Amino acid sequence: MNAKRNLRDLNARVSGASCLRHGVIAAALFLLTLGCGDLRAAPKVLHVDPRQTDPAIEQVHGPHLAVYDPQILPVHRLFVFFPGTGAKAEGSLTIDSAFASWGYHAIGLDYENSVLAAVCAHSQDSACFDQYREAIVTGAPGSEKISVDPANSILNRLEKLLLYLVKTDPTGGWDEFVEAGKPAWSRIVVAGHSQGSGHAAYIGKSFPVNKVLIFSGPQDYLDDLTEPAPWEAEPSATPLSRYFAFLNENDPYNVHHQIANCAVLMGLAKPETLMVAPGQEIRGNYQILINNETERPHGSTLLPEFENVWKYMADSGEEETRLKPEMPPPPPPTPAR
């Protein structure tokens, strides 16, 4: 009788200890989840004053951003993001961090973006948008809408930032994005929002970049002449199949004009678009994706809930790239005029 009672007591203690142990583990996991939320590790974020990279360069809105995650297996690609009119480079941290989590190095560039991209929309001069883009990207004279000297051009700002990162963050892996002191364009994805999307496309026309990602743009449509800006139809150093756009059907800058611009950039006679939603799996091959968010439609393409769309754009065409041996890039052509 006593032996049976002792056995029952022993089983109860063992069972109680097991329950306690599992309860402690469950509680610990629950607290870990509460404390971490998104368990993705934070990337390394560098804030770089543009004036530190070159005494001739001015700071426009704030520091450049340089982002990467040393714990993630690198994909040997650099994501360069140009913010829209009046926006700070620091505002691109969300999308920069997303690309960093996928193995990219990422840069948000501070540059002269104070003049609205649509400034040429009603110009009778068909070259107005071209001159506007060329001034900001290269520092060339000729635009009546904006003046940027070569030192403060996008190209010089990016070049000097990369050289600065190679020097000051020697273990960061930035050196693979520089060749002979210049950006290694074949490893660089250029992207931008609104005004910045047009600069990304303009660079894609002039240099053989890895990919061009367009968000809410470009705005380079000549309303009075009812046609896209001529520079968009110029020959492209980047394959037309490697341009991708994410737009909003309620965009106040007219999504139909944006689609027309993208179609010319991509060489599409009849552009096929796809409506997308947050978290929704995207299948098929599409270069123009559209959402129908009604709150802040122009900025909707940068909302973090559309990370599934960013990932689709990042991955599109990569299998084709991996199957081809990487060749040395050809000499850069003369910037599009």
Q: 127-142, pLDDT tens digit by residue?
A: 999 999 999 999 999 8
User: Is pLDDT at 322 greater than 50 in this prediction?
Assistant: no
Mean of all residue pLDDT scores within the chain:
88
Q: How far is CA 169 from CA 23, 97, 225, in A?
A: 45, 18, 49
Would you say how long the chain is, in residues?
Answer: 337
Q: Report the distance separating Cα 104 and Cα 187, nearest Å.
A: 10
How confident is residue 330, by pLDDT bands cut at 50, 70 and 90?
Answer: very low
User: Distance from first CA to last CA of the chain, Å, rounded?
Assistant: 100
How confident is residue 335, by pLDDT bands cut at 50, 70 and 90?
Answer: low
Q: How far is CA 218 from CA 103, 196, 226, 336, in A?
A: 27, 8, 15, 16
Q: Report the distance separating Cα 15 and Cα 134, nearest Å.
A: 75
How confident is residue 42, by pLDDT bands cut at 50, 70 and 90?
Answer: confident
Average pLDDT on 282-287 reads: 96
Average pLDDT on 27-46 reads: 57
Q: Looking up tokens 């480079």, which residue turns up?
A: 89
Q: 104-131, pLDDT tens digit by residue?
A: 999 999 999 999 999 999 999 999 999 9
The confidence score (pLDDT) of residue 8 equals: 46
Q: Which amino acid is it at 42?
A: A
Contacts of residue 25, defined as CB under 8 A and 6 or more positions apart, other chains included, come to none
Strands 288-291, 273-275: parallel, antiparallel or unpaired by DSSP? parallel
The confidence score (pLDDT) of residue 2 equals: 46
How confident is residue 328, by pLDDT bands cut at 50, 70 and 90?
Answer: very low
User: Is pLDDT at 23 greater than 80 in this prediction?
Assistant: no
Q: 49-97, pLDDT tens digit by residue?
A: 999 999 999 999 999 999 999 999 999 999 999 999 999 999 999 999 9
How confident is residue 317, by pLDDT bands cut at 50, 70 and 90?
Answer: confident
How would you classify residue 226: left for phi > 0, otherwise alpha for psi between -120 and 50, otherwise beta? left
How confident is residue 35, by pLDDT bands cut at 50, 70 and 90?
Answer: very low
Between 201 and 6, the higher pLDDT residue: 201
User: Is pLDDT at 240 greater than 90 in this prediction?
Assistant: yes
Helix, coil or strand: residue 178: strand
Range of lowest pLDDT (71-85, 212-226, 228-242, 307-321): 307-321
Q: What is the DSSP letter of 172?
A: S
Average pLDDT on 268-283 reads: 96
Q: How many CB atoms lie within 10 A of CB 301?
A: 26
Of 98, 317, 119, 299, residue with least CA distance to 215: 299
Range of lowest pLDDT (18-22, 188-192, 279-283): 18-22
Tokens found for residue 30: 């629950």
Helix, coil or strand: residue 215: strand
Strands 273-275, 188-193: parallel, antiparallel or unpaired by DSSP? unpaired
The confidence score (pLDDT) of residue 66 equals: 98
- For residue 151, which phi and psi values (nearest 5 degrees)? -65, -30
Q: What is the DSSP string of 19-78?
A: HHHHHHHHHHHHHHHHHHSS-PPPPEEEEE-HHHH-TTPPPSSS-EEEEE-TTSPP-S-E
Name the strand (E) or helix (H) holding 245: strand 243-248
Q: Which CATH superfamily is domain 45-323 in?
A: Alpha/Beta hydrolase fold, catalytic domain (3.40.50.1820)
Average pLDDT on 289-298 reads: 96
